[in-house]
Amino acid sequence: AQSVTQLDSHVSVSEGTPVLLRCNYSSSYSPSLFWYVQHPNKGLQLLLKYTSAATLVKGINGFEAEFKKSETSFHLTKPSAHMSDAAEYFCVVSAPGGYQKVTFGTGTKLQVIP
Binding site for other proteins (CB under 8 A): 32, 34, 36, 41-46, 49, 51, 90, 92, 94, 97-99, 101-102, 104-107
The distance of Cα 109 from the centroid of its chain, to the nearest Å, equals 12
Identity of the residue, 17 or 36, whose beta carbon is nearer to other proteins in the bound complex: 36
Shortest Å distance, C-beta 19 to other proteins: 20
Shortest Å distance, C-beta 99 to other proteins: 5
Shortest Å distance, C-beta 49 to other proteins: 5
The span from the CA of 94 to the CA of 92, in Å, is 7
**Per-residue CA distances from 73 to 7, 14, 17, 34, 85 (Å):** 11, 24, 22, 12, 22
